[in-house]
């Protein structure tokens, strides 16, 4: 998505620009409830003259000016002036994953005609020989106007004299301004001329600037040097070493002696403006480099070389030399990673859908042509790059994530330009996978069996259980709980899983105790990129059997004969070996503890 706004320069701080919510018609995509919970965040703050130039209301999406905008300083000489930045739109406190929207904002700053043309210097001195031919030209400085081309300099005009103005556009878009002689001169009649040249800009109403030119008519040689070419042009690679010759200009003078010996120099304006980059050998006309060239800073140089003989009253002739800088692949792509974190890292939930936003890459290569174009890739196929604009790519998830398998990724982004000898840049980014409570606790065994002797003291340790949970933090911290119907008989330490008796068990009451033991994690919420989501706690259950071991703690007791009747009647003349009765006794204990031996 892209929104374009217009604002006039010099407007007051706080001026309303636009509203992202309204201008993107977000009510077509979100319910009113969600819209009230949208958050608007700069991904890259708009900066003008080293300060933030626009404000963003994080709740409403309203954009306003943060300072006075001076277009002529922000975009000097540019035909169009745009300030571009990215805004992320995301819902807050959501209960499910929702896509994060990124919108590019382009704010066009309209120029006002607040600068007048300015000549520097305001007054110049120049000379011309009285025998100069009609149409002889003398270069004069052009004016500068810091406004946009629309409000920039439109035309030059002068007072009516023996000279006229000639203004041509150079190959780099500049102006070549000359005074052209329109009639023969006679120094004896008039030896100087005073001209005023006006520069008029294109504003409404227009503004003007002026320069005063004092022209002295000289009595000179009857022949001037003539350059072999009417103009010169040379192409120079930007990595040409300092001191290397780039071009030799040649002028011939048909006079003899000193009047025919030619010397060369740069015109004053050329020397002042470009003397730090170029120099010329006076006797040979050889131009050589004095400083490093940079295609990305200056693509062409318009030089003016004058040639004059060594005789008295020598007349200088001028030729233009166009130096065209050729681009060399000397800049590698510059990569900037933008995330929601102030640190050079990013985070993403392990249950994030494929295509979830992780970070934004901004890539710039200051070279031109194929040297300035580039391709980027990421070293891990778990993530992918998706181009948003020519110089910006979104980092998205390309596979499902599992923190329990891999809790972080050390990504490396590589961008290589398309030059013949390509240059590469890399930048790292650590991506942390944030835990989601997506694992149940697990016991080491399916069930537990333990035994305890009856009459053991209260608080006796029966055994300990352990359940593990691979989740992180509270999501992996396990507590233990027993069924409610046995909580009066046994207890479990929620933290350690130690199970102890709460009563002294009696085998004669029950032989075995069966109940369920539950392990429960403590996960309930996850926060990612300021978004809070709630999750149900995960549990696991195992069966526990506690067997009561018998102890010989019961005396035998007679069942027959009854204790209240211990008299037996035996018939007379009973023979020996006659069974007169059977004594019966019982014991509540088990096994040998319950076996009874009778004695008389």
SS3 at position 591: helix
Is there a contact between 503 and 458 (Cβ–Cβ < 8 Å)? yes
Nearest to 357 by CA among 396, 305, 313, 402: 396
In the chain, list all ranges with CATH 2.60.40.60: 2-110, 123-326, 334-427, 442-549
Is there a contact between 303 and 277 (Cβ–Cβ < 8 Å)? no
Q: Which DSSP category does 276 fall into?
A: T
Tokens of 231: 């103009």
Q: Which DSSP category does 353 fall into?
A: P
- DSSP string spanning 450-462? EEEETTPPTT-EE
Tokens of 293: 């060239």
Report the C-alpha gap between 470 and 435 in whole angstroms.
10
Is there a contact between 154 and 200 (Cβ–Cβ < 8 Å)? yes
Rounded to 5 degrees, φ, ψ at 351 are -95, 15
| CATH code of the domain made up of 2-110 | 2.60.40.60
Report the C-alpha gap between 195 and 190 in whole angstroms.
14
Integer angstrom CA distances of residue 114 from 147, 200, 598: 7, 13, 129
What angle is formed at CA 59 by the lines to CA 55 and CA 63, rounded to 5 degrees? Answer: 30
Rounded to 5 degrees, φ, ψ at 266 are -80, 145
Tokens of 409: 């990724």
SS3 at position 257: helix
Tokens of 432: 């942390």
Rounded to 5 degrees, φ, ψ at 272 are -65, -45
Name 567's Cβ contacts closer than 8 Å, sequence gap at least 6.
Answer: none
Number of Cβ atoms within 10 Å of the Cβ of 14: 10
Q: Which DSSP category does 389 fall into?
A: E
**Helical ranges in 192-274 per DSSP H:** 268-274
Q: Are strands 447-453 and 539-549 parallel, antiparallel or unpaired?
A: parallel
- Walking along the chain (600 residues) 10 residues at a time, the average pLDDT comes out as 90 92 87 86 88 92 92 85 91 66 92 86 88 86 83 79 84 79 84 88 86 83 87 94 96 86 95 95 96 91 95 89 91 91 85 94 89 93 94 94 92 92 93 89 91 89 91 89 90 92 87 92 63 70 90 72 70 78 73 72
Instruction: Classify each residue of 44-79 as buried b or exposed e, where b means 16 or more C-beta atoms within 10 Å of its C-beta.
Output: eebebeeeebbbbeeeebbbbbbeebbbbebbeeee
Is there a contact between 445 and 519 (Cβ–Cβ < 8 Å)? no
Tokens of 193: 């001329």
Tokens of 129: 């020989």
SS (H, E, C) 132-181: CCCCCEEECCCCECCCCCCCCEEEEEECCCCEEEEEEECCCCCEEEEEEE
Task: Give one word for 358, left, alpha or beta, with left for phi > 0 and alpha for psi -120 to 50.
Answer: alpha
Report the C-alpha gap between 492 and 463 in whole angstroms.
10
Nearest to 6 by CA among 77, 73, 88, 82: 82
Number of Cβ atoms within 10 Å of the Cβ of 284: 13
Beta-sheet strands, E only, within 379-509: 383-389, 392-397, 408-417, 424-434, 442-443, 447-453, 461-464, 467-468, 478-482, 490-492, 498-501
Integer angstrom CA distances of residue 271 from 2, 194, 247, 422: 46, 25, 17, 37
Is there a contact between 537 and 521 (Cβ–Cβ < 8 Å)? yes
For residue 130, what pLDDT is reported? Answer: 79
Report the C-alpha gap between 291 and 518 in whole angstroms.
80
Is there a contact between 438 and 350 (Cβ–Cβ < 8 Å)? yes
What angle is formed at CA 559 by the lines to CA 555 and CA 563, rounded to 5 degrees? Answer: 90
For residue 323, what pLDDT is reported? Answer: 96
Is there a contact between 138 and 176 (Cβ–Cβ < 8 Å)? no
Tokens of 568: 């037996």
Tokens of 332: 């590698």
- DSSP string spanning 523-573? --EEEETTEEEE-PPPEEEEEEEEEEEP-S----EEEES-TT-------TT
Number of Cβ atoms within 10 Å of the Cβ of 335: 20
Report the C-alpha gap between 481 and 515 in whole angstroms.
11
| CATH code of the domain made up of 334-427 | 2.60.40.60
Q: Which long-range contacts (C-beta less than 8 Å, at least 24 apart) are formed by 424-429? A: 424/332, 424/333, 425/332, 425/333, 425/334, 425/335, 426/335, 427/335, 427/336, 427/337, 428/344, 429/337, 429/339, 429/344, 429/345, 429/346, 429/359, 429/395
Rounded to 5 degrees, φ, ψ at 533 are -130, 145
Name 474's Cβ contacts closer than 8 Å, sequence gap at least 6.
Answer: 521, 522, 523, 524
CATH number for 123-326 (one of 1.10.3720.10, 2.60.40.60, 3.30.70.20, 3.30.56.10): it is: 2.60.40.60
Q: Which CATH architecture has domain 442-549?
A: Sandwich (2.60)
- First vs last C-alpha separation in the chain: 108
């Amino acid at each position: 998505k892209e929104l374009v706004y217009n604002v006039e320069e010099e407007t007051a701080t706080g001026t309303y620009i636009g509203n992202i919510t309204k201008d993107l018609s977000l009510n077509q995509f979100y319910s009113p409830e969600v819209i009230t919970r949208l958050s608007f965040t700069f991904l890259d703050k708009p900066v003008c003259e080293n300060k933030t130039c626009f404000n963003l209301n994080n709740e409403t999406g309203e954009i306003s000016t943060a300072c006075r905008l001076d277009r002529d300083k922000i975009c000097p000489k540019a035909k169009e002036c745009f300030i571009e930045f990215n805004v992320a739109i995301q819902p807050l406190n959501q209960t499910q994953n929702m896509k994060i929207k990124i919108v590019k904002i382009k704010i066009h700053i309209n120029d006002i005609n607040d600068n007048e043309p300015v000549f520097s210097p305001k007054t110049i001195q120049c000379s011309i020989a009285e025998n100069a031919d009609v149409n002889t030209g003398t270069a004069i400085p052009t004016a500068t106007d810091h406004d946009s081309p629309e409000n920039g300099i439109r035309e030059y005009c002068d007072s009516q004299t023996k000279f006229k103005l000639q203004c041509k556009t150079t190959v780099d878009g500049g102006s070549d301004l000359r005074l052209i002689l329109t009639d023969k001169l006679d120094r004896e009649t008039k030896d100087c001329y005073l001209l005023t040249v006006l520069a008029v800009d294109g504003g409404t109403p227009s503004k003007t600037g002026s320069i005063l030119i004092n022209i002295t008519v000289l009595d000179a040689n009857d022949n001037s040097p003539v350059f072999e070419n009417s103009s010169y042009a040379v192409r120079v690679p930007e990595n040409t070493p300092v001191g290397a010759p780039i071009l030799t200009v040649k002028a011939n003078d048909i006079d003899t002696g000193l009047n025919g010996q030619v010397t060369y120099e740069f015109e004053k304006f050329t020397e002042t403006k470009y003397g730090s980059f170029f120099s010329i050998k006076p006797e040979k006309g050889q131009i050589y480099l004095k400083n490093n060239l940079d295609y990305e800073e200056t693509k062409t140089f318009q030089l003016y070389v004058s040639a004059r003989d060594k005789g008295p009253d020598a007349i200088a002739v001028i030729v233009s030399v166009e130096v065209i800088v050729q681009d060399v692949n000397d800049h590698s792509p510059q990569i900037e990673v933008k995330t929601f974190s102030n640190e050079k890292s990013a985070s993403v939930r392990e249950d994030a859908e494929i295509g979830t936003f992780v970070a934004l890459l901004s890539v710039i290569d200051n070279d031109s042509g194929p040297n300035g174009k580039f391709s980027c890739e990421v070293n891990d196929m778990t993530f992918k790059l998706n181009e948003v604009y020519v110089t910006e790519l979104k980092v998205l998830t390309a596979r499902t994530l599992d923190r329990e398998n891999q809790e972080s990724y050390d990504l490396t982004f590589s961008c290589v330009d398309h030059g013949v000898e390509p240059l590469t840049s890399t930048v790292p980014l650590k991506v942390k996978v944030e835990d989601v409570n997506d694992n149940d606790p697990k016991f080491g065994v399916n069930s537990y069996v333990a035994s305890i002797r009856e009459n053991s003291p209260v608080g006796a340790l029966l055994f300990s259980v352990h359940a593990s949970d691979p989740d992180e933090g509270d999501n992996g911290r396990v507590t233990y709980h027993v069924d409610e119907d046995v909580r009066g008989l046994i207890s479990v330490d929620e933290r350690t899983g130690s199970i102890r008796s709460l009563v002294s068990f009696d085998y004669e009451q029950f032989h075995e105790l069966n109940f369920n033991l539950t392990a429960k994690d403590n996960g309930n919420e996850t926060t990612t990129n300021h978004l809070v989501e709630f999750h149900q706690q995960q549990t696991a259950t195992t069966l526990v059997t506690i067997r009561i071991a018998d102890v010989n703690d019961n005396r035998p007791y007679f069942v027959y004969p009854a204790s209240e009747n211990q008299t037996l009647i035996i018939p007379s003349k009973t023979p020996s070996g006659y069974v007169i009765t059977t004594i019966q006794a019982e014991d509540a204990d088990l096994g040998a503890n319950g076996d009874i031996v009778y004695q008389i």
